[in-house]
Structures are given as structure tokens and as C-alpha cells.
Structure 1
């Protein structure tokens, strides 16, 4: 039989960004807290309806941010009556949007200190912001930009730009961290002015047929629209309502948390996963820009030789040898990530996450990446889940140990794998750790979390100065017996430019194996 891959545009319940802006602009409490009347300046995003099967009365949360006053609020309400939403002060600060970066780049190029030369490049560095604390207690929002001057005495500089005032700080406090004297990575970054979002749907319905048999049916959300958002900064390629051979297996699967820590000076970053960047993909776009069914394997930064460009930006699909790959490439400062799902004909799901970077002096320093998947298993429905750990006890058939209360676990002996099944039918999935997934150091916190499902527990709040995953705040002793369970799974990757081999393959991720 010939396998067919079909994608179709599909809507998502919730509020559009335009509707959120309208609600915010008409809400006196929003404008009073933000101290603004310039509604067009507000940074807003779409607000998806929350819950397993949201309808027109579902709750929503929306972030509204004013870049001039550098203040934000969160709206909490229901989709059918957004004008009655509760308004709460919010400490969430969204990362600079593309138009904000382009405006900052124009100010930077007009600065008299900007180096001459056609080969000078402006790129997005880390951290994304270098806000300025003012004597009166307020703060000024300042996006950061990297300046790469290949012929200059200093090849890399990080500056902060006050877009509202049109000024540039060439030595911003808090970002002049230790920098390696050389350049690392062979890929020259794309400039902030060159990347453009060409539109296209935010999500599609994916169906995979083997002849007349439907193997897979699910919603695929592209990174720019992935949850969590406002608060939160995306989760790469997000899967929703995943069905295999007609049966629901996952309600939601994505990567809400991605962290990095440098070993030499302890600098940490929380990386965003809603910024799509270019990679190479050949094929057709049946629903418009941003969704491509490929005729040959897509090539991300992990497979391309020496550039950070490509002919495509979005989500690519490629089927070969009994497996469908769903692939996108993400940018977060000088980091490049590959967000990927591999769906096999036999029902095995292989989440994968790849790590790379573009030319800069920072990644020469040893650092560790920590990626946290969130799996909302709904085999045979939301409730009645059973969780078991299988230990290596020396027996031919390992004995399961039930997990009956919320807990964090490490991938250490004797644990071999974990199983989540429906209590009535026995169907489910085993979680087998990947070869290169490693185990958590103190900054990585843990390897697995077994939690009772709560719709709001998509975002850990990104609290504190070190950005570490705060998933333990969700562990509060709730029972896991016969309820709806969510599993968080972490992979850990050490990047040492001075010892590239063995390099853990640059890709981590578990295998989810069906239990029938």
C-alpha cells in the first residue's frame, strides 16, 4: 500500500490577537495599570481556549504588555465574555518581536559608533533584553542586539537599544559576561532584518493513511503559535489530540521549558521556542506558507554545512521507511534548535530535540542544555490512568512498581522504563529513555515528573535569577490513582566545543512505545 500524508488547515478556539487588543483597549483597568492610551503599541498575542475539549465558554489567559512603560497585565476570563475578564498585574516580559528588533536595528545602524563595512551583521544575542533600572523605580525596556564585525578588533559586541528614546547603550550592564576570544560554530547567523514571517495557518490537522487505514490523526501547531504563550514563550512543534488507529493516545505533547547553563561562570538562560528560522525543505505547500510536505528529507542546521539560511520557515513533513518526521528549526539568540516528532507506522512515537548554534564567542564555553517535554497521555480517555515504574531486578520479566502520588524521579538504576496505561483496558505507552538523554545535574533538577493534570500547569513561572525549571512547585502530594496524569520528561545535553566527540549526537529524546 502507498502511505499518504494529508494536512488541512483547522481553526483553534480562543481569541485572536486582534480581539485581545480590542478587549485590552476598551478595558479601563488595563489602560490604568499600563499607564497608556496608545493601544496600537501594546504587545499582545492570540489567547487559546484552555482545557481538554474547549468550547465557546472555555477559559482563557492573555498577556498584554506595553513596551513604553515596560509594564504588563494578564487577562483571565472566558472566551464568550472576554470584556468581563479579570485584570491582574503580571511580571511576564515578552521577548522582542521581529518588528521591535528591526526597529532597534535601524536605530543601531544610525548610531555614529556603528562600524563601517558591508560585512557587518546585526543578529539577536542572549539575553534578549537588558532593561535599565531608573532612580524612580521604573524600568526601561531595551532589546539587545549582537554586532558581528569580522574585520574589527572586537568581532562581537552586545548592545542594548532603547527603541522609544532612539538611543544605544554600547556597554549595557548585566550582559557583558565573559566571552571567549575566538569564534565558535561555522554557521554565520542570519541578520535580524532578513527574517520575515510570511504568514500561513497556525495549525493543521494531520492525517496519515496506509491505503484506506488511517494510522495517525492529530492537530499540529507550529512553533510561533505553540503553548504556553502569554505568559510563556512557546514549546516548539506542538501536538494535540493525537490519535493512533482511531484511538486517542495523547491530548497534548510539547516542550514548554528549555534551559541552558554555562559551567565556567554559571550564566543561565531560559530559551524561547516560538521563533521559527529557516532550514532546507523541498516539496509542496498544500495549505499555504509555513507547512510543507517534503519529497526528500528536510535539512536543518544539523545537516547543512556552513550557513544559517534555507528556503523554508515553518513545519515540514517527510515520510520514509515506515516513519513520518515532523520537523521545524527554532532560533533563540545564537542558539538553533531542531524540534522534531517521529511517528512510526507501528504506533511508536519518538520525540526528538536537537542542539546547534551560529557563530559567536559564547558557545565556545562549556554549557549544558536541559529540555523538558510535557506529555498529557489520554489513552482511552482522560481519567483512570495507571502509572508504573519497571526496575532492573535481575529477573527476566521486570516487575512493575505503581506510582500512586505526585513525584519527581531521576533516571538512575534500577529504573529501566515507565508505563502509563488505562486502568480499564490496559492500553497505554511505555517511556523508554533515549541513549543520550543523561540524568539531571543540580541545575537540571530532575528527569521525570508524574503529576495530576491541571490546565494552568503549562508554565512554571520562570521564576528567579537562574531560570531553572520549577516543576517541583507542581508536586504537592496529589493522588495519581485513577485520575488524568501528565508526565514531564527531561533530556540533558552537554556541549563542549573543545571535545566534540563523542558529542551525544546533538539529539536527545525518549521512545514512547505502545502497550496493546
Structure 2
């Protein structure tokens, strides 16, 4: 008998984007700092409540950004009295939103230098912004756009658009596609004009029931609402309050950091994971658009024919052969990523991340993807976990070595796997590295971090030029014995067009195996 997959929409504690706009528009300190007189022009998102079990008095943090002045502020307050929020200047600059990209595309198409032809396509490239520094110290916000003109002299070009001034910089400083004789990847990019959100809830409660037994119960968050954002770049499909057979095992599991590093010229990018893009999924939508229970396996860009399209956008579920797949596809510039979780009926959790791209000369260059999962373990509760590293002894039995203090580690001999268990019951999860997860290079920093839980440590705060994961800043010598434990786990994938990897779909990820 196949287990039943049940989903229902749920609300999460926090302030809606519209409520944040109302608070910001009525707060004199916000508009004074942003130099704005029109709250309708501000860029902002929902403010999720902070803490494990937020109530109406919980604290929240929200970023408010004015694209005209290119300035931002952070609001810090409580849900029950948001109008009393503290206002702090913020250096965070959000990536362009779909409506901003569409406005920029309209300006670009109206420019007299826009290439002729019906086959010209405007897409979102990397980097997402090419802001200009002015002589007076201010900066002008300028979203970038990629031009694909297959019949033109140069097939790809990246420009910067000043939306406020209605002007186009056709050669923005520090931004280039890189001269390369060929495009790589067969899929055409999605035009920015088609980046439409069709609605649907942000969160659902997922239950997997076998007969009278509930195997899994959790909150699933779709990429567009995943944490952290503003500041932060989303985290793909996010899991919260994960219970197996009634027992809490993970408070939160997601991918807050995703980096790309090019070997030939040293260029790096911090990729976002909130932009849902289309893939193929057939089934029913019991809670509305964006959530689909499938009778057949969903197909992302890794499995489907040569196009960057599909009939669905959001999160798809498919259960077969004792395993549930939770699947979404996200876009970041010319990259496409498969964000996936596989949950077995026996309790194993398989985080998976797949790498693909659309037509662009950049993808022809040798580069490395670095994906960083964050697992907030709450085995039997939140305050009594212990960590062990199991080393190879040359025999069938591994040597268990306790980890008692915050530390970063690499996947190298003699380590074979790691384990997080409850100090009293002994139950928990073993972290067994995936076959293709590789080990870090200097840019990737490390492979695992074992940390004491801190609510503020969702976002590493790197807004610099190299985009490197700054997780070592969280390692400060705190005890992780008998505490609330967080594990960051990194997978590393090298893409070389001339020496393609033979394993299917460019997929990485560990197995989290239950310890009875």
C-alpha cells in the first residue's frame, strides 16, 4: 500500500508585506532616512517572527529599501507593537524584483541601440546589480539585464538600467559576459517579462500517513518565502518542525548559502534561491497554485527536454517505492537549481541539490558550485544534543570521538561520518556524506560546521566582493555538548564543460540516517 500524502495551508506568525509597508509609511524615521515621500515605491517583504515558538509578542526584523535613493533601513520590533519598531540604517541591497526587471526591460527595448529582430531575448544575468558610485558619495541603483541575440554580432551582452532616469549603460564597469566562441547548455533562458507569480500559499503542513500511522509531519516553505531574506537570498525548499513518527527531529532545514566560483578569472557570485521557475509536474493542487501532489515523478531541468519551461511553478510532491520527493526548481541568472528533499518511510532524510544552466558563455567556463545546508537539530527537544565524529579504524567498527566545542571540519580521513543524538535517549541522526559531495577548496572554506544554536546565525552577513561563506565567524568556542545544536553541511560540485562529470544530473547531498 502506498502512503498517503496530505497537505494543507497554514499561517505563520509574522507581519505581511502590506503591514510592513503601512508601518514604514507611517514611521517618520524611516522616510526621513530613505529620503522618500512615497511608501508605495519601497521594496520590502513579509517580516517573519523570530524564535522557535513565536507568539503575538515575538520579535521581528524587516528590511525596507528605497530604490530611488538606493538606501535601506532595518526595522526591529515586536509583532504586537510594530509601530514602535526601532529604525537602523542598513547596508543591505535587495536584488531586483520582477516588477523592477520588467520596468528595466521596457526602458531597454525603447533604447535606440536595442538590436533589431524578433529573436532577441531579455533575461536576468549575473551579477543582478551594477550600481554606479556618484561624485557626491551617493550611489545609483542599476539592475542588470542580459541580451541574447542569436543573429547578432555578439550573442550575449549585459547592460545596466537606471530605472529612475530611464537610461541604459551599454558597457557597465566591471560587468562582462566574457568573450567565448560558443554558448553552453541547450536551454534558452526565460525572458524577464514572463517572471509572473501566480499566487498560492507560502507554507503548507505536510503529512505522510501509512494506514493509521503518521510517518512524517512538518511545515514546508516554498522558495519564494524561504529564510533568510532581506537580508539573505532565500534557501530553496525549506522544512520546519520536522517530526518522524511523532518525534521532533529538525526544527529547520534549508540552504541559506549558495556560491559559484569561476576558476579562470576568479569571479564569484552569491546565488539567490527565492526565484521559483517552471518545471514539469502533473497532478492535483489541493491548496491552490504552487503546491502539487503528483501521480508521476516531477521533472526539473535536469530531466526534461531541451527547454527552460514547464507547466508548474512552486513545490511538487511525489511518493513511490517507500520514498517521498519534495521538489522545486529555482533560478538565479543563467543558473537553474533543483531544490529537493527525499524522505523515506523508514525515517531517512536525503537533502539533494542539483545544478544546471541555460544558454550562456559563462557556463562554458570551469567553475565550482558550493551549496551549504543548515540543519537545526532538535532531537527529542532543543537542549540536550551531543555530536560525535566516527573515524575509520581499518576495521568494520568506527571510533566515536565526541565534539564538545564549536568547530569547522573537512571531510577527510580518518573521518567517515558524524552523528547528532539526544544525550538521554540516544536517538538522533547520522550524517553520512554523499558519494559526489567532494571536499572543500580554499574558497569553499570547510565541509561541516558544528555550532550552538543562535537565532541570529541564519545569514552570514557577507555583502563583500568575494561572496565567500563567512560561517567561521559563528565559531567562537561555545560548548555544543548537551545544547541546542546546528550543523552546516557543504557540498561542492565542479563543472567542466570539457570534462563533464559522469554522475546523473549533477546532484549532491548527504543522507541523514536515523539512529534508533
TM-score range, shorter chain: over 0.9
Contact 1:462 1:468 in 2 (8 A): yes
- The 3-state SS of whatever aligns with 1:178 is coil
Q: Deviations over 1:328-382 (max 9, x none)?
A: 0000000000000000000000000000000011110000000000000001000
State the alpha-carbon separation in 2 of the partners of residues 263 and 312 from structure 1: 35
| Partners of 1:312 and 1:28 in 2: CA distance | 42
Q: Which residue of 2 aligns with 1:349?
A: 349
> Quick check: 1:493–1:504 contact (8 Å CA) kept in 2?
no
Residue aligning to 1:325:
325
Residue 399 of structure 2 is matched in structure 1 by: 399
- 1:20 counterpart = 2:20: yes
Return 5+ residue gaps in structure 2 as ranges.
Answer: none
Q: Give the 3-state SS of the residue equivalent to 2:436 in structure 1.
A: coil
Q: 1:150-199 CA deviation, whole Å, 9 max, x = no partner?
A: 00010001000000111011000111253323111000111000121000
In the superposition, the TM-score normalised over structure 2's length comes to 0.99
1:178–1:265 contact (8 Å) kept in structure 2: no
SS in 2 for 1:118: coil
Contact 2:355 / 2:505 at 8 angstroms: preserved in 1?
no
- Counterpart of 2:41 in structure 1 is 41
Following the alignment from structure 1 to structure 2, what is the Cα–Cα distance between the partners of residues 217 and 439? 33
**Corresponding position of 2:473:** 473
Name the SS for the 1:83 alignment partner.
Answer: helix
Q: Counterparts of 1:12 and 1:463 in 2: how far apart (Å)? A: 28
- After the TM superposition, which segments of 4 or more aligned residues of structure 1 sit over 6 Å from their partners? none
SS for the counterpart of 2:33 is helix
Distance 1:337 1:321, change over 3 A: same
The total of aligned residue pairs comes to: 516
**1:88 matches 2:88:** yes
Query: Which residue of 1 is the match for residue 199 of structure 2?
Result: 199
Equivalent position of 1:511 in the other structure: 511
> How far off is 1:489 after superposition?
0.2
**Mapping for residues 122-141 of structure 1, pairs under 5 Å:** 122-141=122-141
- 1:327 & 1:14 partners in 2: Cα distance? 26
The reply on whether 1:73 has 2:46 as its aligned counterpart is no
Q: Which runs of 5+ in 1 are unaligned?
A: none
Q: Distance in 2 between matches of 1:488 and 1:110?
A: 47
Alignment of 1:273-422 (within 5 A): 273-422=273-422
| CA shift digits 1:24-60 (9 cap, x unpaired) | 1111111111111110000000011111111111111
Deviations 1:485-506 (A, max 9, x none): 1000000000111111435740
State the distance in 2 between where 1:510 and 1:404 align: 23
Counterparts of 1:277 and 1:270, CA distance in 2: 18
Decide whether the 8 Å contact of 1:495 with 1:503 is kept in 2: no
Instruction: Point out the more displaced range, 176-185 or 457-466.
Output: 176-185
What is the CA–CA distance in structure 2 between the aligned matches of 1:472 and 1:41, rounded to whole Å? 37
Q: Secondary structure at the match of 1:109?
A: helix
Out of 23-32 and 322-331, give the one that drifted further.
23-32
Q: Distance in 2 between matches of 1:190 and 1:2?
A: 37
SS in 2 for 1:513: strand
1:155 aligns with 2:155: yes
Q: Shift of residue 396 of structure 1?
A: 2.4
TM-score by length of 1: 0.99
SS at match of 2:308: coil
Query: Aligned Cα RMSD in Å?
Result: 0.9
Paired position in structure 2 for 1:99: 99
Deviation sequence 1:468-490 (CA, Å, 0-9, x none): 00000000000111110100000
Structure-2 separation of matches of 1:228 and 1:244 = 25
Task: Tell me the distance in 1 between the aligned counterparts of 2:87 and 2:180.
Answer: 45
1:427-476 CA-to-partner distances (Å, cap 9, x unmatched) read 00000000000001000000000000001100000232100000000000
Mapped contact 2:157–2:177 kept (Cα < 8 A)? no
- Contact 1:428 / 1:514 at 8 angstroms: preserved in 2? yes
Match of residue 258 from structure 1: 258
The question of whether the paired residues in 2 share the 8 Å contact of 1:431 and 1:510 is answered with yes
Give distance in 2, aligned partners of 1:258 and 1:2: 35
Map 1:440-479; keep pairs closer than 5 Å.
Answer: 440-479=440-479
Paired residue for 2:226?
226
Q: Is the contact between residue 327 and residue 339 of structure 1 (CA under 8 Å) also seen in structure 2? A: yes
Which residue is equivalent to 1:500? 500
| Distance in 2, Cα, partners of 1:452 & 1:491 | 21
Q: Name the SS for the 1:126 alignment partner.
A: coil
State which drifts further: 62-71 or 494-503.
494-503
| Alignment check: 8 A CA contact 2:158 2:177 kept | no
On the 8 A contact 2:200/2:289 being kept in 1, the answer is yes
Structure 1 distance, partners of 2:382, 2:179, is: 49
Where 1:193 maps in the other structure, the secondary structure is helix
Mapped to 2, the partners of 1:399 and 1:55 lie a distance apart of 44
- The answer to whether the 8 A contact 1:61-1:230 is kept is no
